[in-house]
Structure 1
Amino acid sequence: MHRKRQTIRDHSAEANLFARRATIAFIIVLAMLGIVLNNLYSLQVTQYEDYQTRSNGNRIKVLPVAPNRGLIYDRNGKLLAENRPVFSLEIIPEQVKNVDDTLAGLIDLMGITEDEVERFRSSLKGTRRFKPVAIRTQLSEEEVALFSASKHKFPGVQIEARLARYYPYKETLTHALGYVARINKRDLQKLVEAGLEDNYAATHDIGKLGIEKYHEELLHGKVGYQQVEVNNQGRIIRVLSVEPPTPGKDIVLNLDLDLQLEAQRIINGIRGAIVVTDVKTGGILALYSNPSYDPNLFVHGISSANYSALLNSPDRPLINRATQGQYPPASTVKPHLGFIGLEEGVITEDYTIKDTGRYKLPNVSHVWRDWKRWGHGDVNVSKAIEVSCDTFYYELAYNLGIDKISEAMYEFGFGDFTGIDLYEESDANMPSRGWKRARFNQPWYIGDTIPVGIGQSYWTTTPVQLAHSVNTLINRGERHIPQIIRGYMNTDESIDLIPLKSQRPIEIKNQHNLDIVLNAMHDVVSGEEGGARHAFANTDYDSAGKTGTAQLFTVGQNEKYEAEKIDERLRDNAMYVGFAPFNDPEILVTVVLENVGGGSKNAAPIARQMMDFYFRDRVFEPEQTQEVAANENITGDF
């Protein structure tokens, strides 16, 4: 038989091969272990802070907490703007077994509308299921009670409360306080530009008008934060720490609510404005524009129907007539013009003209008429203010010229912003040569100057601007900026007053010139021919003032003004500015009424009512009283 040859194994060679392979494997293991250890070192030591931050970023969230908005009080501590709880009905989708059935039940119970259901379904898209979605906001107390009684039938449905702005006096203070409303894209852009977007991270509303807007920085406060731990779905597990927000400051205004309510009551049904100021400080005691509107409509989002009604109303309730209404000042500026004439030496205290009721320029056929057709006879500056003689002021304007008039009246604040703490203000118009050239590309004619002498032509003013100018007269050149805010309240309820603001005073050449015009304004009320003598008959206080009638419709040379034949909105505006007590003035009342007729018959009585209300609890010495016969007939418009 053939035998198979046996192979002799080389154990030594096999052992060496194994050793080489084991060594290579060990080196690979060591290399891999080194890599692992290196990565561990990098993760745990080198990049520890980076990965810890990333981890905490996924696990810990910093959520902003909105501050409570500051409250607003009047000068006597009466609350004008507050924060009230607002209740909303919300659904947490993940806690509801069947959303459709729940919605059907709420429709039956709460009367949820189709529009509300549609908005809810729209909001539901893209929202995490554990986050609540509102189905109805601004629940009434009855609705809250109704749902609370049936809450057990609606798992996953809850009522949430938050604070929202509320104005208890509604339209009484709208044009002074303004309102807050939802932050829109334009507001957000402004916040980004100002670097304030972080401070509004959790805030829904912002001041839109009035004091709410002007003093937004004081009222808003400072945002707070809370650190929360969340799971991988973003659900809050627990609160780790809280940095509470700083509430906005409660502010106190110069406004007197009772005086404001009286202004609203008196002017009811008439388009116009009433402004009452503190003579000594420029503080605004009352600022009412009529018609007004309820600012609460805007807080939660006004409906398109309501906004359209306000926007398209011919009475323009959205306009703040006290600061934005532009009216010819009419005869209310005759004291200013008389003072300028005296200061410039164009007239003297004894300078007299013969008023026949007509005024003509040399070689000009046009006739400017006085309100009193047969004239006032011999008239000096004092009598011209008392009886509101137009002819005297036609002559004075001609002699002064538009350049001197414009320059001096600008010093009194006409044609410029007063600086009142409201953004809604017009600078109106003080005409000049340059203005007419820029506006109409026409030269200034002497005929343009004549009506400026009685506060007409291109000249316009706002009630606040007019009050500011008269206050400057009363304060003998000192110019106090009108101010609505008085100060802000500290936690201990003490008030930090905000410093009063003033402008550069007017330089007075001769103080006696001021005495002349102020005494003449006193004669307007107490003189035998004063335009306001009837309105202020038998008052317990002594006052002074000036009436005005602004003509809006030009009457032909040989025609007579007949109000009943003119469109109602083209009829004369009535105006009055008055202060009291005369010897130590406290308040200045400015009244502007649209399309009601003469100032002496319409505006002056309203100013009288405001003063009566202000001085209602005061007792004056007998020598300060005045008595004027109330049964005299008065004709003409002042």
Structure 2
Amino acid sequence: MNGFDSYRVRERADVARWVLIATFAVLSGAFFRTQIVQHDKFQLRAETNRLRPIALTPPRGAILDRRGRIIAENVPGYSIKLLAPNRDSLRAVLARVNRFVPLDTSETEDVLRRFAAARYQPVVVIGDATFETVARLEEHRAVLPGLVIQAEPKRLYPAGKAVAHLVGYVSEVTESDLTANRFPGAGLGSIVGKAGLEREYDDSLRGDEGVRYIEVNARGRLVREEASTAALPPTPGKPISTTIDLDLQRFIDSIWPAGVRGAMVAMTPKGEVRALYSAPSYDPNAFVGGISSTLWRALNNDEAKPLLNRAIQTRYPPASPFKLAISAMGLKRGLIGLDTRMPTPCRGGLRLGNRVFRCWKKEGHGSVDLVGAVAASCDVYFYQLGLRLGLNAIVQDGVLMGFRDKSGIDLENEIDPIYPATTAYFDRLYGPRNWSPPATTLNFSIGQGENTQTLINMMRFYEGLTGDGHAPSPYIVRPRAAEPRSLGLTAEQLDGLRRALIAVVERGTAAASRRADLSVAGKTGTAQNSHGEDHGWFIGFAPAEKPELVVGGIMEFAEHGTTVAPYVVRTLRRYLLGPDTAGTIKVKVLLDETVSPQDSAPRPIELDPDSAAARDRADSVRLAGGAP
């Protein structure tokens, strides 16, 4: 080899050497970047493949009554979950679980559906497992790959069905909930409030989820659970205090007649709700951990609609309790005074054109003033007052008094009442020539017609009668920002209407509910029902001279308001006089020397002052005008 060749060899060797050095440097740099600079990043990827997070349910905030007694709390519980690499594997393990803990087909399909929505995450099989169930599955863990048993807080409602429509219930968030962003911050598997206070104040009650990890192999099968200490502990929800009197809430549930549909609400003149009850009810504890499909179908298919909150989600014709609104309109406009008598005395009916509109009392009430008309619930008096007001005034003043608006209570899903904004409503509904303004006016004057109200909204109107004529929104936790409604009445006019309501109980249509130890004011009513027996109303307050509590009740198919009055009065007595004075429900009239037998004696059903059965259907207000 000559010198030139030797030089070329050395030159090539040097190039190769530098190439090797450069390659080694690049590899070293990449290694340094991977192992040192990007260590955390790649370690996280590796850990993510090896570890699967499990959300830790936070304890929901407690719900307390006004004295700190528990309406909703948390107790220790267990949930059973399965981690599976694919759908077929999950189905196979579910079949094994079914050998030890029976699962119906719908429950199995629901688990598979939820697995498809969140693969690679443990899926809940039993949301509220008993200790016996946990022990049975733990005993057979060897044949149940992917079994995860998790201790977590469970909701408990000690009063059960007594508070169902008030407090609502909780359940697992659904895909549709997440799509609609109904529960910000929630994810699949989160427990959220679905009704009542649980829904209204879910943001405060829910808290923030924590997380712990389980280890899986390359095939996604569970290897082991990490230490029980959470990687991120959950943040408990905040407790809320309410205006509710739990004793009163339980009491109403205890006296409510079995099988009767309806609702009762009790609140102070300031709008603080002391009780809110709806019947029939349900057990909110049944929803904890997931309600069974069988029970869910039963609740939804029940014609009595136990999930319906009749206090805020059902409309009824306001009937005779609306006569106080008509009275307030007449006083406000200066058309009548407390001692005003109508030109035509009540002789059992009022002739208008070629028709006679009947009063409930065939023999009539004679000449009565406003107080006497309210006490006796004289239809003829209010027919004439309605005509004096005119339909336009009734519609306008009714809107100002709030009969077209929700009450504003802090519960979700309160429905709007039905009340016309203007008389053009009737033209749109029936056609300009297909309804009679006089007949419609008479209909509205006695609380019938195109006017349907929720119990809570009627309660707000009566709340305004108990004080200075201003009615704040009812509330359970905190009032919503809204101006109080104003009835626009003077103190003298309000006092006169209260005296009229006292007369209803002292010597009028609710005399059967009068008691010597508590002065009660109120108004009975019967809402006509085209689908069966009429519905009964009674709204009352006590003490009559200085009201501390307003209680309203509606009972479907009760026929008469006098049926409801004893339950309302007994609730007032319980709250104001204590548990030993509530007494029993009586329908017999108590007579004394200040009440004449004619005014207070029990009347036959067909003569009940507010009963549609007592009216001559052929001469009814609606037929008189030809309105449908």
How would you bin the TM-score normalised by the shorter chain? 0.7 to 0.9
Per-residue deviation, 1:369: 0.9
Q: Which residue of 1 aligns with 2:553?
A: 591
Is it true that 1:633 corresponds to 2:597 in the alignment?
Answer: no
**Secondary structure, counterpart of 1:173 in structure 2:** helix
Residues 40 and 231 of structure 1: is their aligned pair in 2 closer, same or farther, counting only changes over 3 Å?
Answer: farther
Is it true that 1:273 corresponds to 2:263 in the alignment?
Answer: yes
Please list the CA deviations of residues 224-265 of structure 1 after superposition, one character each: whole Å capped at 9, or x if unmatched: 456899887776767998443321111122222221122122
Q: For residue 19 of structure 2, what is the amino acid of its counterpart?
A: A
Per-residue deviation, 1:505: 4.1
Q: Is the CA contact 2:331–2:489 (under 8 Å) kept in the aligned structure 1?
A: no
Q: Which residue of 2 aligns with 1:80?
A: 71
Is it true that 1:26 corresponds to 2:8 in the alignment?
Answer: no
Q: Which residue of 1 aligns with 2:175?
A: 185
Please list the CA deviations of residues 258-284 of structure 1 after superposition, one character each: whole Å capped at 9, or x if unmatched: 2112212222221111111112x2111
**Secondary structure, counterpart of 2:271 in structure 1:** coil
Residues 43 and 367 of structure 1: is their aligned pair in 2 closer, same or farther, counting only changes over 3 Å?
Answer: farther
Q: Is the CA contact 2:74–2:153 (under 8 Å) kept in the aligned structure 1?
A: yes
Q: Which residue of 1 aligns with 2:470?
A: 478
- TM-score normalised to structure 2 length: 0.81
Counterparts in 2 of 1:17-56, with a 5 A limit? 17-38=5-26, 40-41=28-29, 44=32, 52-56=40-44
Q: Which residue of 2 aligns with 1:524?
A: 504
Report percent identity of matched pairs: 30
Counterparts in 2 of 1:274-423, with a 5 A limit? 274-279=264-269, 281-353=270-342, 354-361=345-352, 364-423=353-412
Please list the CA deviations of residues 475-527 of structure 1 after superposition, one character each: whole Å capped at 9, or x if unmatched: 22222111122xxxxxxxxxxxx46755244263533222211111111122x
Aligned counterpart in structure 2 of residue 217 of structure 1, from 186, 203, 206: 203
Q: For residue 207 of structure 2, what is the amino acid of its counterpart?
A: G
Q: Is the CA contact 1:230–1:237 (under 8 Å) kept in the aligned structure 2?
A: no
Q: Which residue of 2 aligns with 1:541?
A: 518
Counterpart Cα distance in 1 of 2:496 and 2:542: 17
Tell me whether 130-139 or 64-73 shows the greater mean CA deviation: 130-139
Gaps of 5+ in 1: 1-10, 486-497, 554-568, 621-625
Q: For residue 47 of structure 2, what is the amino acid of its counterpart?
A: R
Q: Which residue of 2 aligns with 1:560?
A: none
Please list the CA deviations of residues 161-183 of structure 1 after superposition, one character each: whole Å capped at 9, or x if unmatched: 33232333322111111111121
Q: For residue 564 of structure 2, what is the amino acid of its counterpart?
A: A
Per-residue deviation, 1:344: 0.3
Aligned counterpart in structure 2 of residue 510 of structure 1, from 479, 490, 512: 490
Per-residue deviation, 1:295: 2.4
Per-residue deviation, 1:100: 12
Counterpart Cα distance in 2 of 1:523 and 1:504: 28
Aligned counterpart in structure 1 of residue 165 of structure 2, from 144, 156, 175: 175
Residues 76 and 359 of structure 1: is their aligned pair in 2 closer, same or farther, counting only changes over 3 Å?
Answer: same
Per-residue deviation, 1:633: 1.3
Residues 68 and 359 of structure 1: is their aligned pair in 2 closer, same or farther, counting only changes over 3 Å?
Answer: same
Query: Size of the alignment, in residue pairs?
Result: 578
Tell me the C-alpha RMSD between the 2 structures.
3.9
Aligned counterpart in structure 2 of residue 254 of structure 1, from 217, 224, 243: 243
Counterpart Cα distance in 2 of 1:385 and 1:240: 69
Q: Which residue of 2 aligns with 1:570?
A: 532
Residues 21 and 142 of structure 1: is their aligned pair in 2 closer, same or farther, counting only changes over 3 Å?
Answer: closer
Residues 202 and 617 of structure 1: is their aligned pair in 2 closer, same or farther, counting only changes over 3 Å?
Answer: same
Residues 129 and 272 of structure 1: is their aligned pair in 2 closer, same or farther, counting only changes over 3 Å?
Answer: closer
**Secondary structure, counterpart of 1:615 in structure 2:** helix
Aligned counterpart in structure 2 of residue 613 of structure 1, from 563, 574, 577: 574
Per-residue deviation, 1:330: 0.8
Q: Is the CA contact 2:84–2:120 (under 8 Å) kept in the aligned structure 1?
A: yes
Residues 463 and 358 of structure 1: is their aligned pair in 2 closer, same or farther, counting only changes over 3 Å?
Answer: same
Counterpart Cα distance in 1 of 2:382 and 2:575: 34
Residues 59 and 434 of structure 1: is their aligned pair in 2 closer, same or farther, counting only changes over 3 Å?
Answer: same
Counterpart Cα distance in 2 of 1:425 and 1:117: 32
Counterpart Cα distance in 2 of 1:116 and 1:596: 40
Per-residue deviation, 1:573: 1.4
Counterpart Cα distance in 1 of 2:119 and 2:303: 49
Per-residue deviation, 1:351: 2.1
Counterpart Cα distance in 2 of 1:154 and 1:422: 47
Q: For residue 532 of structure 2, what is the amino acid of its counterpart?
A: L
Counterpart Cα distance in 1 of 2:374 and 2:542: 18
Q: Which residue of 2 aligns with 1:205?
A: 191
Residues 133 and 273 of structure 1: is their aligned pair in 2 closer, same or farther, counting only changes over 3 Å?
Answer: closer
Please list the CA deviations of residues 307-353 of structure 1 after superposition, one character each: whole Å capped at 9, or x if unmatched: 33322322222221111111111111212211210110122233212
Gaps of 5+ in 2: 582-590, 610-628
Aligned counterpart in structure 2 of residue 603 of structure 1, from 564, 586, 592: 564
Counterpart Cα distance in 2 of 1:525 and 1:133: 60
Tell me whether 501-510 or 454-463 shows the greater mean CA deviation: 501-510
Q: Is the CA contact 1:65–1:202 (under 8 Å) kept in the aligned structure 2?
A: no
Residues 111 and 577 of structure 1: is their aligned pair in 2 closer, same or farther, counting only changes over 3 Å?
Answer: closer
Counterparts in 2 of 1:550-565, with a 5 A limit? 550-553=527-530
Q: For residue 87 of structure 1, what is the amino acid of its counterpart?
A: Y
Per-residue deviation, 1:138: 3.9
Counterpart Cα distance in 2 of 1:468 and 1:616: 24
